[in-house]
Structure formats: structure tokens, C-alpha cells
Amino acid sequence: MTAPATVMVVLGTRPEAIKLAPVIRALRETSDLRPVVVVSGQHRHILDEVLDLFEIVPDHDLELLRDRHTLTHVTTATLTGLERLIRLELPAAVIVQGDTTTTFAASLAAFYAQVPVVHVEAGLRSGDRWSPYPEEINRQLTTRLTSLHLAPTSTARRCLLDEGVDPLSIVVTGNTVIDALQWVVGQLDAGTHGMWHIDDRRLVLVTAHRRESWDGGLAEIAYALREVVADRTDVRVLFPIHPNPVVREAMTPVLGSLQNVEVVEPLGYREFVAAMAASYVIVSDSGGVQEEAPSLGVPVLVTRENTERPEAVEAGTARIVGNQRAEIVKQLGLLLDDPTEHSRMRRAINPYGDGLAAARTVEALRHLVWSAPRPADFVATAEAGQD
């Protein structure tokens, strides 16, 4: 019997873990593919909760944890750490997800080692290299390094084709976050479902962390929320605050003392799903939330200038409002005060998949690994004078 092929799965952040968890679980159910999970350790204290929820124990940890990461540190440390692990594990492919700096650096490390890169959630584009920053460029660079592009939607596939990507290297799978969401919803009990329904007030769930909002945008979002809740006693805000000190320093002074705003530590994914399901409106700059909320029938106001997920906007379940106070106040007030407008967004159809993305991912990976010529085992060949 042929030994299973090793597939290295690299992740660094909680969203990556959520979206790759269904893939890892599906790989573990196969007999011909052996997943090796590598975590970078950027936000290990919030990453571990997701790993525990999905019963994933990492095989390797690059231990990059620092109080204030720089993009350069994450890139160089990931490159160095993965060079060693690729030599050790000799993977037939390296799987990355999305748009983080870990994603790009892991793709580059695999490319240097002449190991095929498999990009989950490939092809998303905003068209603005500075927004989201650095995610838009991370995605574009990863595309250039990728052998198998797993696009979540036909729109993402078209973006890849427009950039000259070989159509035979693209598979439309749906988004794996829907797989994860459906699994977690199925695990919720009545107590967890109801934990955020503590009174009759409508819940507004907020997340904020994007780098392009660090220079004033985060404070604008906070002031907008304060203005909206000031004269609406039937509304309360739940804000699980990101661990990044920049986010906390910008938003806590504005929101921390308001009676109808709860600033809490990051929620576990199970509790966060319950909070999304209980929400009347979500205000967020998160890409994952733009994908998850449609499945739960919750409108999303996107506090960014653009989105690489136009499907949600086109479907009507998400609306781009930017990160300036006046527009956020206007649009959030509209949804809170106009039931017809709220109902129109709530009934929009989820464009992101059917919960079978992980199964399609494994089948595409199996074809790459077993139907195409296997890459030669990586052996370090750096010579004097080589770049």
C-alpha cells in the first residue's frame, strides 16, 4: 500500500483556523493524505480556543508571539521557520488560506522549496492595494506562487482568469467558513443560543481591527457607535475587542464607560456564532463576518472603503459604509429605525456556499498530489553567491 502523502497546513490567525479547520478535519478522514498542521503563534491565546473547538492539535508551532507584531517580523520569521519544517516533513503540498502575512510568507517558503502551494479562498480582490492593507497585496503575491487556486465563488474565479491564471488550476469550492459555521451551529445548545438574549433590547454586534483604520478610523467608528446608542434606549452594543493594543487604545476610551455598550474580551468562536445569530445588525470590518452573517440572516454594515467580497454587497446582505462617523451613524440609524430596510437585507440570499467546500478542497488536492507529477524532495541547495 502506498504511504499517504504529507500535506502541510499553515495558519497564523483565528480566521485562518476557522476556515482551515473543516479542511483539516476532512483530510484526517482520508487514507491517502496526511495533514501536518503548523501554527505561527501570532495570537496563540485566541487561536487555541478555535483549535480546541475543532479538536485540532498542531504538529509544529513557529512561536512568533509578540506584543506588537511588525509585518517584517512575521514574514521573515515564518520564512525561516518553515524552511526548516519543509526540510523535515517533505510535504507534497502546502495549504494556505486567505490573505494574511503568514499566508504570503508560507507560500513563498513553499515556492522556494519547490513544493506546490494550495490557496484556499483564492481570487478575492478589492482593486486597491492599500485597502485592505496588507491583505490585498498578500493575496496577489500568493496567487503568483500558487499551483492550485481554490476559489470560493465564480466571481473570485473570474478575478483569477482576468489576471492570466491557468483555468485548469482553478477549482470553485464555495467558502469553507460556511462548513465551519454550519458545524458550530449544529453544536450549539439552547443555553448558548440564548446567552445574548438577556433583555428586549436589539443587539448590535461590532468588530474592528483593520490596519487601514488605525490612523483615526477606529476612533471614528467608536464615536459613531456612541452617537447612535445615545438616544436609542432599545439598543445595546456588544464589542468583543481585538487583542491588538492599537485597537484598544483607540476605542476603549470612547466606548468603555457607556452603559449600553459592552466592551468584552474576544469571544470564543462558539460564543461569537451565538452572538451573530442573536444580532439585529452587525457592524464589522471582518471579511469572515461578511460571509457568515448571510447564513444567519443578519445585515452587515462594512466599515471599510471597499471589499474583496462583492458578492455580499451585490446580494444585498452587506453594505459598505466606510470608517467615517457620519455615514456609519446614517446607515446604522436607517437599519435600526426602518423595519422595511432591515427586512430587505435580512432576507438576502447567502452567496458563499453550501457547506461542502472542504470535501471539494480535498478532492482537488487529491488530484494535484496523485494525478500530477510529484515534486522532487526538497534539499537545500544554497550555494555561495546565490540570492
What residues act catalytically? 99, 121, 135, 209, 211, 242
CA proximity to 127, closest of 172, 159, 149: 159
Strands of the sheet with 117-120, listed across from one edge: 60-61, 33-39, 5-11, 93-97, 117-120, 148-151, 170-172
Which position has the grid cell 490596519? 211
Cis peptide before 22 (omega within 30 of 0): no
CA 294/CA 302 separation, integer angstroms: 13
What size, in residues, is the chain? 387
For residues 104 and 95, the answer to whether their CB atoms sit within 8 Å is no
Cell of 66: 509578540
Q: List the one residue out of 25, 11, 39 whose CA is nearest residue 184.
A: 25
* Grid cell 464607560 in the structure block, residue: 257
**Pairwise CA distance, residues 6 & 4, whole Å:** 6
